[in-house]
Amino acid sequence: MSDPETAVRITGAGVTLMGDLVLHRDPKGLVIFAHGSGSCSAIGSCVRR
């Protein structure tokens, strides 16, 4: 949470994003970089790296 940049990999449908987010395309799915404080909510798998 205190990380300036948190990479969040989301798979599935019904993705809801909150905060300042920058979306990046990934061959395996959707990679989202959250700058500052941001939260992600998805119907499926949500993995933080």
Dump pLDDT digits (tens) for 11-49.
444 455 554 555 555 666 665 554 444 455 443 344 454
Secondary structure E strands in 1-49:
5-26, 29-48
- Residue 31 is predicted with a pLDDT of 59
Does pTM surpass 0.75? Answer: no
- Residue 3 is predicted with a pLDDT of 44
